[in-house]
Amino acid sequence: MKVGDLVKISNDTCDGGHGCGCWFCYNSSNGLGMVLKCLKSDGGHVRGTGGYWSIMFDVGEWRLYGSEIEVISMGRRHDDTR
C-alpha cells in the first residue's frame, strides 16, 4: 500500500448491520477512501498490522491499520511514465 491508492474498509472493520456504531456507519460513509500518508510502517511493537495510515474518506480523514483496509486501485507514482 502507498500514498494515492484507492482503498475500502474491510468487512471486518465494520459490522454494517442495524445499530452499527462505527465511525463509517455513523457518518453514512461509503467506505471508500484515498491513502494520504503512512503514519507508521509495519514494525515496532504492533507487527502484522500492515502499518498505520491516514486516509481521506467521503466523510473526512480517518486513521486505520493496513489490516483494516483493502486496496481497490493502486495510484501511479509521479516517476511512473507508463
Residue 40 placed within a domain: yes
pLDDT value for 25:
87
Longest Cα–Cα distance of the chain, Å, equals 47
CA distances to 9, 11, 21, 23, 80 from 15, in Å: 11, 7, 9, 11, 38
Residue 80 placed within a domain: no
Residue 78 placed within a domain: no
User: For the chain, what is the domain count?
Assistant: 1
Q: How does pLDDT run across 13-69, given as a tens digit for each residue?
A: 777 666 678 888 889 899 999 999 999 876 555 555 688 999 999 999 999 998 899
Give residue 5's pLDDT band: very low, low, confident or very high (50, 70, 90): very high
Residue 14 placed within a domain: yes
pLDDT value for 1:
84
Decide if 55 contacts 36 (C-beta within 8 A): yes
pLDDT value for 33:
96
| Domain limits for position 24 | 6-73
Q: For the chain, what is the radius of gyration of the CA atoms?
A: 13
pLDDT value for 18:
65
Residue 51 placed within a domain: yes
